[in-house]
């Protein structure tokens, strides 16, 4: 999640785009770029090539002319906090948009029940997480346990065990992390040790990693 005068970018599965909240009006805009070609076709994930990508000029997000305070980019969808509530747009066939319809939308839709008191949003490849009322919630695909709710969700569902004191949350390709009560916990895929608990077995509920209140970010496979 990012705040005013900043950009949130993503590069999932070779698809790259970025989104920005533009001040001072609090309007949301998006810009897109073709994915960089890999210098090493055998790499996983791919490394960016030295040649620069061609950027598409940003365009205003429909119906968000003001009130946007932060934005989060997923694989093929984007979400923003607008006047304290959550809105998402883009790919929604796995429930990424949180409106319960499991369909795509080219304009922002309101996340079900999230019209106020939203503190943070985090985009994953085909899912979304957020903080509301100091608790963690996720929705969307759950193939690797990345929502932390035990099953795929079309609307926000509480992450198991993170129902209070959540201060930060981050999503990635198919794993998530959050800080609650000063403890860092992660869940989802763990093929490359993403959960940092010494194992390589995915977790469908949060595992405590370390103690320590900090701001963190999550990457494609880390």
Condensed to tens digits (0 to 9), the pLDDT of residues 110-165 reads 999 999 999 999 999 999 999 999 999 999 999 999 999 999 999 999 999 998 99
Q: Going residue by residue through the chain (222 aa), what tens digit of pLDDT does each one get?
A: 555 555 555 544 434 455 445 455 566 665 555 554 544 444 444 444 445 566 778 888 999 989 999 999 999 999 999 999 999 999 999 999 999 999 999 999 999 999 999 999 999 999 999 999 999 999 999 999 999 999 999 999 999 999 899 999 999 999 999 999 889 999 999 887 888 877 778 888 998 887 655 544 454 454
From the number of C-beta atoms within 10 Å of its C-beta (0-12, 13-18, 19+), residue 93 rates as middle
Give the model's pLDDT for residue 156: 98
Give the model's pLDDT for residue 53: 63
Instruction: DSSP for the chain, please give it.
Output: -B-TTEEEEEEETTEEEEEEEETTTTEEEEEE-PPPPBS-TT-SSPPBPSSPPPPEEEEEPTT-SS-EEEEEE-SSEEEEEETTEEEEEE--TTSTTSSSS-S-EEEEEEPTT-SS-EEEEEE-SSEEEEEETTEEEEEE--TTSTTSSSS-EEEEEEPTT--S-EEEEEE-SSEEEEEETTEEEEEE--TTSTT-SS--S-EEEEEEEEE--------S--
User: What single-letter DSSP state applies at residue 111?
Assistant: P
pTM over cut 0.75: yes
Give the model's pLDDT for residue 220: 46
Task: Give the 3-state secondary structure of residue 95.
Answer: coil
Q: Which domains does the chain have, with CATH numbers?
A: 6-36+55-211 (2.130.10.30)
| Structure-block tokens of residue 147 | 């929502």
Cα separation, 172 vs 70, whole angstroms: 18
């Amino acid at each position: 999640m990012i705040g005013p005068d900043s950009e949130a970018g993503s590069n999932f599965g070779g698809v790259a785009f970025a989104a920005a909240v533009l001040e001072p009006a609090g309007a949301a805009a998006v810009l897109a770029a073709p994915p960089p070609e890999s210098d090493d076709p055998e790499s996983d994930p791919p490394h960016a090539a030295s040649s620069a990508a061609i950027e598409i000029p940003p365009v205003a997000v429909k119906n968000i002319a003001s009130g946007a305070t932060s934005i989060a980019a997923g694989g093929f969808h984007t979400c923003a906090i607008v006047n304290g509530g959550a809105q998402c747009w883009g790919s929604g066939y796995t429930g990424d948009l949180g409106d319960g319809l499991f369909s795509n939308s080219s304009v922002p839709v309101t996340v079900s029940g999230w019209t106020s008191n939203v503190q943070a949003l985090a985009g994953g490849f085909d899912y979304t997480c957020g903080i509301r009322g100091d608790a963690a919630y996720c929705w969307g695909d759950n193939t690797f346990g990345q929502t932390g709710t035990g099953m795929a969700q079309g609307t926000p569902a509480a992450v198991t065990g993170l129902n209070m004191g959540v201060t930060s949350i981050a999503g990635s390709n198919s794993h998530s992390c959050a800080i609650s009560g000063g403890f860092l916990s992660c869940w989802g895929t763990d093929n490359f040790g993403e959960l940092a608990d010494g194992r390589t077995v995915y977790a469908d509920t949060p595992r405590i990693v370390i103690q320590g209140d900090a701001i963190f970010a999550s990457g494609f496979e880390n």
